[in-house]
Amino acid sequence: MTLSEIVKTGRDEGKEEHLPLVSIDKGHKAKHDIVRVVVGHESPHPNTPEHHIVWIELFGIRIEDNRVVDLGRAACAPVFSNPNVRFQVNGIDEFKSFYALAYCNVHGLWGNFVERYVGARPADT
């Protein structure tokens, strides 16, 4: 079995939202770049002890060498926290894309990504 057979994507989505939505934002007063990952963006994912998102992990893919960098993991407690996390990423310009994984204790592992540059990369200044 390969990882691609384990990680579910948008085409596997059911009545609950599981797919992590990945977005890139400027942080407070634009001092830091933020990558935000939300599960259940349009309709909330269940958040009970019996059915909840356990953790969210973020990876960055570097422009220079396509190296995958683990940027962090956030644990989510059922009932008391929501699967909505922000990762402060230093050196965000080194990454061409970000990939998030989210683990649901009932429906397994889900993955999604966002690319920073569609088409040609902007010229370096």
20-26 and 33-39 beta bridge pairing: antiparallel
Domain ranges of the chain: 3-115
When pLDDT is averaged across residues 78-96 and rounded to a whole number, the result is 93
Are the C-beta atoms of residues 16 and 45 closer than 8 Å to each other?
yes
83 confidence band (pLDDT: 50, 70, 90): very high
3 has pLDDT over 80: no
Residue 11 is predicted with a pLDDT of: 65
Give the tokens for residue 80: 């008391």
Cβ neighbours of 30 (radius 10 Å): 8
Find the Cα–Cα–Cα–Cα dihedral 83, 4, 113, 54, rounded to 10°: 10
- Which segment of 31-35, 81-85, 87-91, 96-100 scores lowest on mean pLDDT? 31-35
| pTM for the whole structure | 0.85
Residue 48 is predicted with a pLDDT of: 95
124 confidence band (pLDDT: 50, 70, 90): very low
What's the fold here for domain 3-115?
Immunoglobulin-like (2.60.40)
Amino acid at 53: I
